[in-house]
Each structure stands twice: as C-alpha cells, then as structure tokens.
C-alpha cells in the first residue's frame, strides 16, 4: 500500500497539467483580487447599502453559475479572509480542483498502464485508496497555497494585508479542506465509474456551477408536500455546505459541515473501490 501511494504521489508531482492548473489559478486569484477592489470602490462611490450586496442565504434561490461576492461591510477594510471566503463560497477553487481530479484519476486508466499494476496487488480497491490519498495531498497544497497567494495578492492590490479574525480563518479553512476534498473524491469516483472523461468533466463542472440546485429545490418541494416542513436538502450535501457555510460558523454548523464532508468521502470511496474491484479492466 505504501509503495502504491509513493507511486501515485510521484505521478502526481510529475503531472504537467497540475502545474498548468496551478498557474492559471494563481493568475486568476490576482485578477479577481483586482476585480474585488474595483467592486468595493464602486460600492463606496455609489454608496450602495450592504444589505443589497451580501450573499443571500435563501436556499430556495441559488444562482446558477459561479457567483463571487464580497462580504465586506462598507467602511471596513477588505481582508484576506473576505476574498478567500467569497471565492470558496462561489466554488472558484473547487472548479480547478475537480478538473485536475478527473485528469489525474483517469490518466493511468485511459493509457492502459493500470493493467500493468492491477495484477500485482492483492486488492484493486487499494489502487483507488492510493489515488484518494494523493488527491488529499493535492487538495491541501492547492487550498492552502490559494490562501497564501491571496495574502500576496492583497498586499499587491490593496497595498496592505488585513487578515480578519484568525480563529475564524483557521476554523473555516479546516472545514473547507474537508468539503473541498469531499467534492474532489466525488468527482474522482464519478470519473472512475463512468470511464468517460468528457461526461465526467461536464458533470463535475455542473456541480461547481450550482446546476444541482434545480434538483435540490424540486426535492425540497416534494418533501414539503409530504408534510415535512422547512426541510432543506442543501444542508446534507457537499455543494450546499460549500455555498452556505458562514464565515464564523457555530459549533453546530461546523460539526454538520464536517460530518457531511466525511460521510460523502467514505461513501464515494466505498462506491468507487467496489466498482473498480469488480470491473474488468
């Protein structure tokens, strides 16, 4: 198992597409920081009320697409946490992560190399676990790297660095690591089960673009007609938690988000490894 993980980690850091994605992500983080500054200055100049600028938490009305809006109140400094929160909530980082997850998870399968090593292991399930471990490393490096780059971007664009509440940052970052890894594992599993990169990529991008919100709203309506009031399926999905986790979550909200992420990680790993074990490769 250790050797498989070492092999996948070696393959991870030798994959050129990862560095291409990181470069694009880095450039867009700086680019979006300029946009955030422009938007904030426009708010100040137009004296727009903050109540009209904050992200709505009405779970019955989710915008389709990527929606990134600053939570900064008028008159306050735009902090690193503000922009990181806006990008996380808008699934900006998620989009790049899931694209690479699919590329990495299916590279050896598409090339046929997986056949060379599948016969050398006692259980092919371990190959999926190994991929998952490598993608966990990728998720941590990418998300923490994005936060560090956001610090640099704020220093360049705003001429100063204001962090925000450190305790809130650490808690929020920790939960986001779990949630982002969960959606990476979900997309990896989709790619392994479907075995079609194009379809897998489209499905994964749809997840980051809130397309599933249409289905979620329909499910909420059906459950409401069954007599269960105020049920929101978003609370039990990874994409829902990514969209609606507040900057300073309560203990209950934190535990709920972490549990949702962990449960989905376990379910997807079981599903992916089981299918891969039984499938003829």
**Would you place residue 221 in the very low, low, confident or very high pLDDT band (cuts 50, 70, 90)?**
confident
Judged against a pLDDT cut of 50, whether residue 56 lies above it is answered with no
- For the chain, how many residues are written? 281
Provide the pLDDT for residue 277: 78
Residue 41 is predicted with a pLDDT of 74
DSSP string computed for 138-159: HHHHHHHHHHHHHHHHHHHHHS
Read out DSSP for the chain? Answer: -HHHHHHHHHHHHT-HHHHHHHHHHHHHHHHHHHHHHHHHHHHHHHT--GGGTSPP--TT---SS------PPTTS---HHHHHHHHHHTTHHHHHHHHHHHHHHHHHHHHTTHHHHHTTSS-THHHHHHHHHHHHHHHHHHHHHHHHHHHHHHHHHHSS-----HHHHHHHHHHHHHHHHHHHHHHHHHHHHH--HHHHHHHHHHHHTTTHHHHHHHHHHHHHHTT-TT--GGGGSHHHHHHH--SS--HHHHHHHHHHHHHHHHHHHHHHHHHHHHS--
Give CA–CA dist 197/135, Å, rounded: 17
> What range does the domain containing 51 cover?
2-278
Cβ atoms of 237 and 179 closer than 8 Å? no
Residue 119, pLDDT score: 61
pLDDT digits (tens, 9 = 90+) for 134-189: 999 999 999 999 999 999 999 999 888 998 889 999 999 999 999 999 999 999 99
More confident residue, 242 or 232: 242
Neighbours of 67 (CB within 10 A): 17
Residue 104 has pLDDT above 70, yes or no: yes
- Total domains in the chain come to 1
Which range in 47-56, 96-105, 193-202 is most confidently predicted, on average pLDDT? 96-105
Which residues 6+ apart lie within 8 Å of 213 measured at CB? 62, 64, 234
Query: Which residues, 6+ apart, have CB-to-CB distance to 50 below 8 Å?
Result: 73, 74
Distance CA 104, CA 85 (A): 27
Q: HSE-up of 267 (CA within 13 Å, CB side)?
A: 13
């Amino acid at each position: 198992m250790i050797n498989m993980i070492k092999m996948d980690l070696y393959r991870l850091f030798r994959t050129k597409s990862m560095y291409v994605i990181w470069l694009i992500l880095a450039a867009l983080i700086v680019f979006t920081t300029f946009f955030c500054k422009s938007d904030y200055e426009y708010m100040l100049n137009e004296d727009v009320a903050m109540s009209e600028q904050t992200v709505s938490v009405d779970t019955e009305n989710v915008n389709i697409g990527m929606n990134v809006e600053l939570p900064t109140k008028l008159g306050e400094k735009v902090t690193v946490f503000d922009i990181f929160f806006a990008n996380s909530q808008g699934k900006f980082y998620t989009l790049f992560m899931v694209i690479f997850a699919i590329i990495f998870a299916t590279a050896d399968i598409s090339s046929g190399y997986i056949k060379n090593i599948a016969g050398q292991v006692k259980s092919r399930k371990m190959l999926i676990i190994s991929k998952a471990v490598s993608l966990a490393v990728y998720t941590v490096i990418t998300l923490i790297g994005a936060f560090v780059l956001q610090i640099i971007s704020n220093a360049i664009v705003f001429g100063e660095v204001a962090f925000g509440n450190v305790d809130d940052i650490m808690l929020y970052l920790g939960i986001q690591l779990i949630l982002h890894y969960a959606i990476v594992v979900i997309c990896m599993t989709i790619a392994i089960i479907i075995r079609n990169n194009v379809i897998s990529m489209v499905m994964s991008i749809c997840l980051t673009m809130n397309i599933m919100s249409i289905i979620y709203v329909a499910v909420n309506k059906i459950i409401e007609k069954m007599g269960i009031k105020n049920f929101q399926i978003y609370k039990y999905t990874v994409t829902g938690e990514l969209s609606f986790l507040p900057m300073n979550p309560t203990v209950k909200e934190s535990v709920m988000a972490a549990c949702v992420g962990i449960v989905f990680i376990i379910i997807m790993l079981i599903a992916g490894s089981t299918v891969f074990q039984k499938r003829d490769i």
